[in-house]
A and B are shown apart, each in its own frame.
Chain A
Amino acid sequence: MTIPGSWYLVVAALLFGLGAFGVLTRRNVIVMFMSLELMLNAVNLTFVSYARMLNDVGGQVDVFFVLVVAAAEVVVGLGIIVAIFRQRATVTADDISSLKG
Chain B
Amino acid sequence: MIFANVLSQLPIALPAISYKAVAPELVLFGGALLILLVSATVGKRELPGLYRAIALVAALAEGGFSGYQLYLAQGAKASLAVAGAIAYDGFSAFAGIVVAAILLLAILIGPGFIKRIAGDGPEFLVLMLISAMGATVMAQGEDLIVIFIGLEILSIALYVMVGYRIGDGLAREAAFKYFILGGFSSAIFLYGIALVYGATGTTNLAKIGAFLALNVLTHDGVLLFGLALLLLGFGFKVSAVPFHLWSPDVYQGAPTSVTGYMAAMAKVGAFAALIRVFDIAFAGQIVQWRPIVVGLAILSMVFGALFALRQRELKKILAYSSINHAGFILLGVYAGTAAAISNTLFYLIAYAVIVVGTFGLVSIVQDSIGVSEGSCSLDQLRGLARSRPALATVTAIMVLAQAGAPFTTGFLAKFSIIVSVVEIREYWVAVVAMLSAAIAVAFYLRIVLAMFRGEPEEVEGERVLAIQGAATEAPARRQALAWIGVSLSLVFTVGFGIFPQPLLDLAARAHIVG
Contact = CB atoms under 8 A, between A and B. Distances in A.
Interface in B156-214: 156, 159-160, 163, 166, 169-170, 172-177, 179-180, 183-184, 186-188, 190-191, 193-195, 197-198, 201-203
A36 B187 contact: yes
B176 A81 contact: yes
Contacts of A69: 148-149, 152, 186
Given A9-B198, A36-B184, A96 B190 contact: no
B249 A100 contact: yes
Nearest to A36: B183
Nearest to B174: A99
A81 B83 CA distance: 39
Nearest to B196: A50
A1 interface: no
A5 to B, nearest CB: 9
Contact of A54 (B179, B186, B201): B201
Contacts of B190: 40, 43, 66
Contact of A77 (B166, B177, B179, B187): B179
Contacts of A29: 176
Of the four ranges (under 10, 10 to 19, 20 to 34, 35 or more), the interface on chain A belongs to 35 or more
Nearest to A16: B191
Contacts of A47: 194, 197
Contacts of A79: 160
A39 B173 contact: no
A66 B191 CA distance: 11
Interface extent on B, as a size class? 35 or more
Chain B contact residues: helix, strand, loop or mixed: helix
A80 B187 contact: no
Nearest to A9: B198
A76 B177 CA distance: 13
B128 to A, nearest CB: 16
**Main SS of chain A's interface residues?**
helix
Interface in B227-263: 249, 252-253
A65 B145 contact: yes
Contacts of B149: 65, 69
A38 B325 CA distance: 35
A101 to B, nearest CB: 8
Given A36-B183, A56-B201, A69-B149, A96 B177 contact: yes
A53 B198 CA distance: 9
Given A23-B184, A39-B187, A76-B160, A46 B174 contact: no
Interface string A67-101: 00100110011011101100100000100111110
A84 B194 contact: no
B183 A77 contact: yes
Nearest to A97: B173
Contacts of B170: 98-99
A79 B194 CA distance: 29
A62 B166 CA distance: 34
A49 to B, nearest CB: 8
Interface in B129-173: 145, 148-149, 152, 156, 159-160, 163, 166, 169-170, 172-173
Given A40-B190, A62-B145, A80 B159 contact: yes
B191 A62 contact: no
A23 B249 CA distance: 19
Contacts of A19: 187
Contacts of A53: 198
The 8 A-B residue pairs with the shortest CB-CB distance, nearest first, are A99-B249, A39-B187, A50-B198, A46-B194, A69-B152, A43-B190, A96-B173, A36-B183
Given A36-B184, A66-B190, 4 more contacts: A73-B183, A77-B183, A80-B172, A80-B179
15 contacts: A46-B195, A54-B201, A56-B202, A58-B203, A62-B193, A65-B149, A73-B183, A76-B156, A79-B160, A81-B176, A83-B175, A84-B172, A96-B173, A99-B177, A99-B252
Interface of A: 9, 16, 19-20, 23, 29, 32-33, 36, 39-40, 42-43, 46-47, 50, 53-54, 56, 58-59, 62, 65-66, 69, 72-73, 76-77, 79-81, 83-84, 87, 93, 96-100
